[in-house]
Amino acid sequence: MPRRRSQPRRAPAKQEGDATSPPTGHESIDIENAPDRRSVSPELAKKYTNRSVERVISMLNLLQRSVDGMSLAQVSNSIDMAKPTAFRYLWTLEDAEYVERDRDGQYRLGLGFVGMHSRGLQILQERARPWLERLRDQTGETANLGVLKGNSIVYVEIVPSKRAVRVEYSPGSQDPLHSTALGKAIASRLPEARVREILEQTDMEERSANTITTVQDYLDELDKVRRRGYGIDDCENDVDGRCVAVPIIGAHIPTAISVSGPASRFPIKDMEQIAASLTEVAGHLAKEPE
């Protein structure tokens, strides 16, 4: 019988962080005595800087400045990166929800980057609060700040009416895009392809007899919102609730503010006047840095 050839014994694998492991493709650096970044020379700073992370940051900063989204070609040209490389970066960021891509191939920041606990949103909430209180006192009704998260509108800052009977939401509660004034205001600033994508991923539930339940009717409604500058929920989300909302134009987070109240004391004829107040407040918030 032939003898089996003995296999050579493998050396034990070195663990990550093993001090005896040689550097893999990078020059060794002194972690314990790293220089102060405020006074370090450019040459030494380069030694400590990770180029891949720098490029990811450049990509995210680029998308943050874009309200309408950017194509792959625009991203790669703006940061001087080959398209296949840029695509791999974007693919990875999209998988982690830091970037999202619509059906037209436009990239924009995703929920992982502008999530509910992002610093930018927190600052916007803090700045919006006194303005919402002013709107509540002026109208007597509930004032809201809402953002688009996924396919839903999320209420992130609410100043409830002081009246016993009122329309009131809880921070973090969600409502559909298609049946709310906040949803219409935000959708009016989004590309049509993205609006269609959101609507097709929801069932456009009929929440009342007034609810818009078809994509085309909703797109027609958005044309009206763009012309007049504000969206109306005329008992569409709730049988006895009305709401008027305007978008915060220029915000990198899809955001809008609204005033809502019972239909019995919140007539349609008052919508235009309240929308004018909302537009003024939205203008102040848009001017303030996030």
Query: What value does the CA radius of gyration of the chain take, rounded to a whole number of Å?
Result: 26
Mean pLDDT of 39-68: 82
Q: Does the pLDDT of residue 22 top 60, yes or no? A: no
Give CATH 1.10.10.10 domain extents, the chain.
Answer: 42-109
Please state whether beta strands 152-159 and 142-149 pair in parallel, antiparallel, or not at all (unpaired): antiparallel
Tens digit of each residue's pLDDT (9 = 90 or more) over 120-144? 788 888 999 999 999 999 999 999 9
Q: Identify residue 270 by its one-letter amino acid code.
A: D
**CATH for 119-287, among 3.40.50.1010, 2.60.40.3880, 3.30.450.40, 3.20.20.80?**
3.30.450.40
| Residue 160 confidence class, pLDDT cut points 50, 70, 90 | very high
The pLDDT value given to residue 113: 60
| Residue 27 confidence class, pLDDT cut points 50, 70, 90 | low
The pLDDT value given to residue 230: 97
pTM of the predicted model, to two decimals?
0.65
The pLDDT value given to residue 205: 92
Q: Does the pLDDT of residue 225 top 60, yes or no? A: yes
Residue 242's SS3 state is: strand
Fold adopted by 42-109: Arc Repressor Mutant, subunit A (1.10.10)
- How many Cβ atoms sit within 10 Å of the Cβ of residue 73? 11
Give CATH 3.30.450.40 domain extents, the chain.
Answer: 119-287
Q: Does the pLDDT of residue 272 top 90, yes or no? A: yes
At residue 86, φ and ψ (nearest 5 deg) are: -60, -40
CA distances from 230 to 100, 144, 209, 265, 275 (A): 27, 14, 22, 20, 6
